[in-house]
Chain A
Amino acid sequence: MITDKLQTLGRDTINNIAGFGRSGLMLFGALVGKPDFRKGFPLLIRQLYVIGVLSLLIIVVSGLFIGMVLALQGYTVLVKFGAEGMLGPLVALSLLRELGPVVTALLFAGRAGSALTAEIGLMKATEQLSGMEMMAVDPLRRIIAPRFWAGVISMPLLALVFNAVGILGGHLIGVDWLGVDGGSYWSTMQANVDLYQDVLNGVIKSFVFAIIVVWIALHKGFDAVPTSEGISRATTQTVVTASLTVLGFDFILTALMFGG
């Protein structure tokens, strides 16, 4: 009994480490080497559209509502201390430091990450990747690389859009509905938000999360068992693994950036 459990534990650990190694090799093969801009650039533009632009709607809507909820919740607490003038910094700092990068990453994993995994898994199942390899076209360079770069470029931008829309949403609730002074909303925000400490650190977070989510999504698809069951499992794993890894890294990054 106990030996069985130990065996399973050992096997799972070995499989996980081997999978991690394979994902590293995949990324290495995709990114290392002489880039071919003539062929690569149109592919990148196409993926920026599919991965980035098409994720815009869910990001804008979520950002708006998160900003509105932040203002509503923050106001009820701040007003007790007569500090509702600080609503601006509260909304902005929550978004810039934390919610913007994290929620964008979670939404991105669900919207674009799962789609990437399913797409690549299906390409594998229908032998498109194999076929490409036999046509002397490296699928790592042709399929994986543009998707990786598109994700890494678009996610920080999406997080910035999320932040901006969220701050506007906070304004909508705080100023237009609850009656906080508009001037103080913006001026306290301006006084309390630091470009490097807050905005840039948020962008760095978002950049790290982008690498995590896209890497996991691409690897799960590339490594999927090429059956319908295997692809469905890989897609689920992408969302679960990417979300948990993002939250874990968020804690580490926050501790490093704002902890001491």
Chain B
Amino acid sequence: MSDIMVDIQHLSFSRGQHLIYDDMSMQVRRGKVTAIMGPSGIGKTTLLKLIGGQLKPDSGHILFDGQDIPALSRADLYQARKKMSMLFQSGALFTEMSVFDNVAFPIREHTRLPESLIRLIVLMKLESVGLRGARDLKPAELSGGMARRAALARAIALDPELIMYDEPFAGQDPISMGVIVRLIKELNNALGLTSIVVSHDVTEVMSIADYVYVVAEKKVIGHGTPEQLRQDKSELVQQFLKGEADGAVPFHYRAQAYEDELMESAR
């Protein structure tokens, strides 16, 4: 068994005319929390969808557990997806089902376990995210943080090998943020998972990640352990980590000269 869980080699991907990744490579080690950080709008979610095989790259390889995801047949891709799981930013809970049925959904779809056993598994998963008491609620009745935890319980329902978190901290209050930070770390260690966390929340990510990639301008601009990254000399990496408004990444969206545009309307 290789030490590398996800191996992205020379990945290029474009949407229409717009190039999103240009010859990018990165490795995700088994059993570790790997974070992918970068300014919003650079296609971090796209990267997760590429790993999950929902999008196909223009060129390059995405190896998941030794299998080249873009080259897999439909049936093999669905088999591979049973070993991975993704926590969407919105949670993506099924709105017409209760929390319990949401968590039970992947188990009922992929196994033929008796209902009594499914109940046990679901209760265990819900207990691990602290929502055992909320099992009869509908997703609409949950707060944002609870919905994300419920979705997390569903994501680990089938004990995946890889779990991908899409902006798990976005829009959370400090308490639920702390809860989710702890959960990601604990689940990773207790269940022997491999985790990929995509986020732009620097402090939270640096506190739990074993390894960090900073992605900007269509490629990896810096990587290393959180300590290594803080020592990184790249201006761009430092601007991002310190959250400075202007620098290598300009504050302004590209536009014609300010004076010209104001004068134009005055004319």
Seen from chain A, the residues whose Cβ lies within 8 Å of a Cβ on chain B are: 39, 122, 126-128, 130-131, 133-138, 142
Contacts and interface: CB of A to CB of B under 8 A. Distances in A.
Interface in B57-111: 78-79, 81-82, 84-86, 88-90, 92-95, 105-106, 109-110
Contacts of A127: 88-90, 92
A142 B110 CA distance: 13
A128 B78 contact: no
B239 interface: no
Nearest to B77: A136
6 contacts: A39-B109, A122-B95, A126-B92, A127-B89, A127-B92, A128-B94
B109 A131 contact: no
Nearest to B106: A135
Listed from nearest, the 10 A-B pairs whose CB atoms lie closest are A131-B92, A136-B81, A127-B92, A134-B86, A136-B78, A127-B88, A136-B82, A135-B106, A137-B109, A134-B52
A137 B52 CA distance: 13
Nearest to B82: A136
Nearest to A126: B90
Residue among B49, B86, B92, B110 with the highest chain A CB neighbour number at 10 A: B92
Given A39-B109, A138-B78, A133 B94 contact: no
B54 interface: yes
A137 B106 contact: yes
Given A126-B95, A128-B95, A130-B54, A135 B90 contact: no
Nearest to A131: B92
Contacts of A126: 90, 92, 95
Given A130-B54, A133-B81, 8 more contacts: A122-B95, A127-B88, A127-B92, A130-B49, A130-B88, A134-B84, A136-B79, A137-B106
A105 to B, nearest CB: 27
B95 A134 contact: no
Contact of B81 (A122, A128, A134, A142): A134
A142 B109 CA distance: 10
Nearest to B157: A135
A126 B90 CA distance: 7
A136 B81 CA distance: 5
A133 B106 CA distance: 11
B79 A134 contact: no
B88 A133 contact: no
B255 to A, nearest CB: 25
A210 B146 CA distance: 41
A135 B85 contact: yes
Contacts of B52: 133-134
Nearest to B139: A126
B21 to A, nearest CB: 20
Interface string B22-34: 0000000000000
A134 B85 contact: yes
Contacts of B95: 122, 126, 128
B81 A135 contact: yes
A130 B89 CA distance: 12
Contacts of B90: 126-127
B151 to A, nearest CB: 8
A36 to B, nearest CB: 10
Contacts of B54: 130, 133-134
A136 B76 CA distance: 10
B79 A130 contact: no
Contacts of B49: 130
A240 B89 CA distance: 34
A45 to B, nearest CB: 15
A134 B53 CA distance: 9
A179 to B, nearest CB: 52
Nearest to A29: B74
Contacts of B94: 128
Contacts of B154: 135
A126 B92 CA distance: 6
B141 to A, nearest CB: 16
B86 A131 contact: yes
Contacts of A122: 95
A127 B94 CA distance: 9
A122 B110 CA distance: 25
